[in-house]
Amino acid sequence: MMGINLEKALERERRKDELNSPDQTLAAFKAVLEEDDQLDQDIYRRIFGDGPQVPSNFDFRTLDPTKVYSSAQIKKLCTRYRLRFLDTKHFKGDIPYEAIAKIKALQKAQNADLQGFKMIAPAPMFNLKNKDKDPLLMLPLGKDRFYLVHKWGQDLHPLRALMVLPFRNFKTLLASVALLAAMVVSLFPDSMLMGPLDQSSWNIRIIFFFYLFLAFSGLTALYGFSRMKNFNSELWNSKYLD
């Protein structure tokens, strides 16, 4: 005798019910979609809301360890590329559905609602108080650890780190001004710096270097700070404009 495949028998029962009551089946399907949409809306509200950062029953073993970063590592990244690391409630960009889906998957794995998210992004993407776009959505894990939930947008310009290098901190600013002065001094040939009785141009180049260093420092203080206003190392987690 042939055995009965229970799975196929159950499928036949479902098809019978669907044929006999199509409206009820459609209503049940719509209810599932509405419930899923409601969950998406709840996640979206929690992304931009306040709340405790790590649930008490959070299981860290389910996380991808390659996506866990320390606050020191995040600070170095933000300082290098002049980015901000702030609560998502300050973020004014759009959250893609891929990020919502990943949070939903995390919540399902943790069996808990997640909130207290933070964002790494350029300052223009935040609603900053009075004082390129490549955001990273982070979930705080406690003990200065953060989990990368999702990245979207375009990559930063490859020269961004070089363009903002002088304003990482005070030391890099002085080094950049000194390097610029040295480069300008090196462009002048000896024939333009030496007189008929001079045997070497080094003494003149040294004097010229310090003259340019002071001049460029003054211009940097006058025009550079009027635009950049503060160093990257001071702005990386500041909610103020500059």
SS3 track for 138-199: EEEEECCEEEEEEECCCCCCCCHHHHCHHHCCHHHHHHHHHHHHHHHHHHCCHHHHCCCCCC
Report the predicted TM-score, pTM, of the whole model to 2 decimal places.
0.56
Q: Which of 22-26, 35-39, 110-114 has the highest mean pLDDT?
A: 110-114
Six-digit token pair at 92? Answer: 């004014």
Report whether 161 contacts 137 (CB < 8 A).
Answer: no
Average per-residue pLDDT in the chain?
75
pLDDT band at 130 (very low <50, low <70, confident <90, very high): very low
SS3 helix, strand, coil % of the chain, rounded to 5?
55, 10, 30
* Sheet with strand 84-87: strands edge to edge: 68-70, 145-151, 136-142, 118-121, 84-87
Q: Hey, what are 221's tokens?
A: 């203080």
- Count of domains in the chain? 2
pLDDT digits (tens, 9 = 90+) for 228-239: 666 766 666 666
Phi/psi of residue 16, nearest 5 degrees? -65, -45
Which domain range does residue 42 map to?
Answer: 1-157
Q: Are strands 136-142 and 68-70 parallel, antiparallel or unpaired?
A: unpaired
Does 241 map to a domain?
no
Retrieve residue 56's tokens: 């008490």
**Residue 31, domain member (yes or no):** yes
Where is the domain boundary, 157, 192, 222? 157
* Contact of 170 with 180, CB cutoff 8 Å: no
Residues 127 and 96 in one domain: yes
Domain termination residue (choose one: 157, 185, 204)? 157
Residues 106 and 181 occupy one common structural domain: no
Q: Which two tokens stand for residue 210?
A: 């310090």
Residues 132 and 148 in one domain: yes
Domain assignment present for 213:
yes
Query: Does any domain span residue 240?
Result: no
Local confidence band at 131 (pLDDT 50, 70, 90 cut-offs): very low
